[in-house]
Structure 1
């Protein structure tokens, strides 16, 4: 999140300089924006503070990218609607368009929550690459649950696990919660500000979850870890050079 906030601040600073025609007032405003974003990202400790920093700089998102994301989300949703409904009459197609438009306007940032198109392509590739791992986890968990159910001793030791995730975005929390629930032997009971409550069938299942491997996989796919791009470095270099 920190890198995303800083990149958004850089874009906004460029916009301020362009609109202000590089005047002293515009330069001062851009300096203050960069200083504030750096302060928020370096000193923020809690998730609430980090989200406040992100929301504060949300205006740096480019309207053109938001429009593109909304259009892409609409087509994805509409294609999914047609696939599930199987109806091609005027009523169902019109209803699909209306629903897809509404959801795309309200939730386009769930699919495209980073500001770079390349990020989406990277996430799509990583999702495909991570698929076999998740399927393998589900398969092995099925075998373990079958063993617990069929064993004469029934070595079941149910317990509630409570852990704090390092994931920060809502979509990452949902992905982790669903992945846990999809894996036999574990069910996500509740999530509260990044704190997960999970029911596990026995100690082995609880231990496997506590290793954090699934969490790391999701962070990798969704790019929750801080990724620094060479273009980001160039942008930062240019903006600070312009402010000298």
Structure 2
């Protein structure tokens, strides 16, 4: 009888210990989960703070660069450098930059704007040279007794991705004598060329490549090409 009671008491004790162990494990798992969730929430909160700070810094940088570009353009077109006109230019440039600074530089990382500006300044002399060469060619077409003009409408799909790249390419084409951008629809350009030579020059894609380089679109295209080649070689190995 006493042995039976002892065995029953031992079973009850083991059962109580097992229940306590299960509850302890459950509490430990809950605490671990809460700690993990808290850590995850803290990481997300920190990421949000860093992303917000980055966006603010990028937004301010975009605003400053846009303002400087607009004011320089204002001063260039105005040609008047008295206090009244310069003050008016500053006010107008500030207002426009405040309202549209995120339109000029979209999806641009902090620090990339400086690179874009430097590359754009390097692009301008090349484009000015193209304008001069095209001017001589158009003058030859107009003054030649044979008038070797062969106008044509050409269409091509651009590899450029951003709106600012499209606008830059369209304006570059139109500023070059003998070619005019007629329409852009979903990345397809419709261009009027005055001669076959002008159309061929545009078909080389050099202007498009240079603009892609300016806005850092060629960088990730090159990286993707390298990755594609590496994957092809890996498949043949």
Residue 148 (structure 1) shift: 1.5
1:188-227 pair list within 5 angstroms: 188-227=181-220
Q: 1:120 to 1:134 in 2, by over 3 A?
A: same
Q: Structure 1 length as normaliser, TM-score?
A: 0.62
Determine if the alignment matches structure 1 residue 155 to structure 2 residue 171: no
Q: C-alpha distance in 2, partners of 1:145/1:217?
A: 23
Residue 86 of structure 1 is matched in structure 2 by: 81
Structure 1: tracts of 5 or more residues without a match: 1-19, 31-57, 229-244
Residue 172 (structure 1) shift: 0.8
Structure 2: tracts of 5 or more residues without a match: 1-35, 222-237
Structure number having the greater helix percentage? 2
Residue 166 (structure 1) shift: 0.8
Q: 1:124 to 1:22 in 2, by over 3 A?
A: farther
Q: Structure 2 length as normaliser, TM-score?
A: 0.63
Q: 1:86 to 1:196 in 2, by over 3 A?
A: same
Q: C-alpha distance in 2, partners of 1:206/1:76?
A: 31
Residue 136 of structure 1 is matched in structure 2 by: 129
Q: 1:136 to 1:22 in 2, by over 3 A?
A: farther
Residue 126 (structure 1) shift: 2.2
Q: 1:61 to 1:226 in 2, by over 3 A?
A: farther
Residue 116 of structure 1 is matched in structure 2 by: 110
Residue 23 of structure 1 is matched in structure 2 by: 39
Q: 1:72 to 1:139 in 2, by over 3 A?
A: closer
Give the paired residue count: 181
Q: 1:69 to 1:162 in 2, by over 3 A?
A: same
Choose the corresponding residue for 1:170, options 163, 179, 193: 163
